[in-house]
């Protein structure tokens, strides 16, 4: 997604600084890698989420009024708070496995969250033309299937830009941190005067394709680099290629052609990442097609979960010559 490049740059810089400053607070290395940007909404996000999450709300004041949200897995917050409290490693793993969050954990993570928002202020304030102040709101825990939804909790219903970045702490297997920003606030931070014109072009192209009838197509989803490798490997298929980020509007993509196969690149294979199969597999099934997943690493457990979700198979980059073409051939003639 080419839009909101300034906002993404500020968020990446803020999270990088937050990682560095939190490392000093924790006494252990913590880092946050560059983000991918996707479109999502609350229904879609929570529908894909099976694990407890911790929502850190942020109020933006002054010339940029609004709210945005940092979403961590509950297990990751338990790891961070436990490190700050000096809890031994084996006990940290036990607390994480059992989702044990004690009052001291809540207070400790509150300190970490305050540090993170301080990093955001130090990046946003000098990079925006007008005055801005970001204020931390009380973090909220949300357990899917247990905690009720309201208009405002765990975060308001609506459409969001989602910036998803890998969280890393040495010695611990961490998940992603997701930053959800409503479109109006994103446009305040990083105005997009050409957005309407840019969005109109795909609509014209889609209308032309629709008038000519559904095209046999391959859907390719993933981040920019992951998609590029898949597209290159499938370029000689003779089918129409539809490629888009993971958070793109799926009904809109499927309206561009008859999707005979879908190839999805995932940076990680956690339950949260694999949840996209719940949405894509049924849509591809309608045309008698199948889904194949690619990721840099696969565990036996992740492969079994992917297959259970209805995926046809898995691969790992770098791909051998003709590997993707052969996989496609198997899907088309299964």
User: For the chain, which domains are there?
Assistant: 5-189 (3.40.1550.10), 200-332 (3.40.50.2300)
pLDDT tens per residue across all 334 residues of the chain:
447 888 988 998 998 888 888 888 888 888 888 778 888 888 888 876 678 889 999 999 888 999 999 999 888 999 988 988 888 888 888 888 888 888 888 888 888 898 889 889 999 999 999 999 999 888 888 888 788 888 788 898 888 988 888 888 888 888 888 999 999 899 899 987 754 444 545 555 555 444 455 788 999 998 878 888 888 888 888 888 888 888 777 888 888 888 999 999 998 888 888 888 888 888 888 888 889 999 999 888 888 888 888 888 889 888 888 888 888 888 887 6
Q: Which of 254, 228, 226, 251 lies closest to 240 in space, CA to CA?
A: 254
Give the whole-angstrom CA distance, residue 118 versus residue 299: 37
Give the whole-angstrom CA distance, residue 38 versus residue 221: 11
Give the whole-angstrom CA distance, residue 122 versus residue 17: 9
CB within 8 A of 146, min separation 6: which ones? none
Phi, psi of 33 (to 5 degrees): -80, 175
Q: Is the CB of residue 294 less than 8 Å from the CB of residue 226?
A: yes
SS3 17: helix
Give the whole-angstrom CA distance, residue 314 versus residue 198: 34
Q: Is the CB of residue 269 less than 8 Å from the CB of residue 298?
A: yes
Has this prediction a pTM greater than 0.75? no
């Amino acid at each position: 997604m080419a839009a909101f490049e300034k906002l993404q740059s500020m968020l990446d810089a803020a999270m990088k600084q937050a990682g560095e400053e939190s490392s000093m607070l924790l006494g252990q290395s913590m880092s946050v890698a560059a983000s991918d940007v996707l479109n999502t909404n609350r229904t879609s996000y929570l529908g894909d989420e099976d694990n407890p999450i911790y929502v850190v709300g942020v109020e933006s004041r002054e010339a940029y009024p609004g709210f945005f949200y940092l979403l961590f897995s509950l297990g990751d917050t338990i790891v961070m708070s436990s490190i700050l409290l000096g809890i031994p490693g084996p006990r940290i793993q036990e607390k994480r496995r059992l989702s044990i969050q004690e009052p001291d954990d809540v207070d400790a993570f509150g300190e970490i969250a305050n540090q993170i928002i301080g990093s955001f202020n130090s990046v946003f304030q000098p990079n925006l033309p007008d005055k801005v102040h970001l204020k931390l709101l009380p973090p909220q825990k949300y357990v899917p299937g247990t905690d009720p939804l309201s208009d405002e909790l765990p975060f308001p219903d609506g459409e969001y830009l989602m910036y998803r970045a890998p969280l890393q702490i040495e010695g611990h297997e961490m998940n992603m941190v997701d930053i959800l920003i409503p479109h109006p606030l994103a446009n305040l931070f990083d105005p997009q005067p050409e957005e309407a014109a840019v969005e109109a072009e795909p609509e014209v192209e889609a209308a032309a394709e629709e008038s000519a009838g559904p095209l046999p197509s391959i859907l390719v989803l993933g981040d920019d680099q992951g998609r590029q490798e898949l597209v290159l490997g499938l370029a000689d298929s003779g089918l129409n290629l539809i490629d888009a980020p993971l958070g793109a509007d799926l009904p809109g993509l499927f309206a561009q052609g008859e999707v005979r196969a879908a190839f999805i690149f995932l940076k990680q294979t956690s339950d949260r990442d694999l949840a996209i199969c719940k949405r894509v597999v049924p849509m591809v099934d309608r045309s008698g097609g199948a889904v194949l997943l690619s990721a840099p690493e696969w565990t036996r457990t992740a492969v079994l979960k992917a297959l259970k979700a209805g995926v046809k198979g898995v691969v790992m980059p770098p791909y051998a010559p003709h590997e993707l073409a052969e996989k496609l051939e198997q899907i088309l003639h299964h």
